[in-house]
Amino acid sequence: MILDKLDKERQILNSLDSKEYREALAIEHVNTTLAIQIRMMRENHQWKQSDLAARLSKHQETVSQWENPDYGRHSMTTLKALAVAFDVALLVKFIPFSELVQDMVNLSETRLSPPSFGEEQYHVLTSVTSNLMEDINVIDANNPSLVSPYNPRNMLNTANIEKELANVA
């Protein structure tokens, strides 16, 4: 897969020798990824095109155009409004062509459909909780005396001990 990525990168880099082609590639990469991002983020929010249109006081047909990679006439005003609607950041900047190629060969589901701020917060929270639980388990294994009384596993152990005591009695 790494070789495959390198091959693709080399092929695209070689194609940039033609000025006309590299201009076209840069424009079409923006047009394609923008259209895909708008559709995928809308679908992640479980919005219909008409729902998104209503939020931005537009017609459903306008949203349909935005989601068409052949459209390519998104204005900065529209993109800023979409970023607000999806609660994501918008980054517009000039880059060298080498960076464009990197962007093309490093696409991913997350890049095509970036999570909203709320989703990011949720992931951070669940990740912190998961790490905390792992830490507690390590402490639990290394030194049982440090086990938190709120650890469900500790409560389970207490129940087992009570059961065993009852059996002995």
Nearer to another protein, 97 or 136 (CB): 97
With binding defined as CB under 8 A, does residue 28 bind another protein? yes
Site string for another protein, 76-115 (x = CB under 8 A): ----------------------------xxxxxx-xx---
Cβ distance to another protein smaller for residue 83 or 104? 104
11 sits near another protein (criterion: CB under 8 A):
yes
Position 57, amino acid:
S
Which residue's CB is nearer to another protein, number 7 or number 134?
7
Q: If binding is defined by CB under 8 A, does position 40 make contact with another protein?
A: yes
CB 139 within 8 A of CB 146: yes
The residue type at 27: I
Q: Where are the alpha helices (DSSP H) in the chain?
A: 2-15, 19-44, 49-55, 60-66, 76-86, 97-105, 109-112, 117-142, 152-168
Q: How far apart are CA 80 and CA 75, in angstroms?
A: 9
46 versus 145: smaller Cβ distance to another protein:
46
Rounded CA-CA distance 40/157 in Å is 47
User: Binders of another protein: how many residues, by CB under 8 A?
Assistant: 34
- In the bound complex, what is the minimum distance in angstroms from residue 21's beta carbon to another protein? 5
Q: How far apart are CA 79 and CA 102, in angstroms?
A: 23
Q: Extract the tokens encoding 124.
A: 């951070």
Where do contacts with another protein occur on this chain (CB under 8 A)? 1, 4-5, 7-8, 11-12, 14-15, 18, 20-21, 24-25, 27-29, 31-33, 36, 39-40, 68-70, 104-109, 111-112
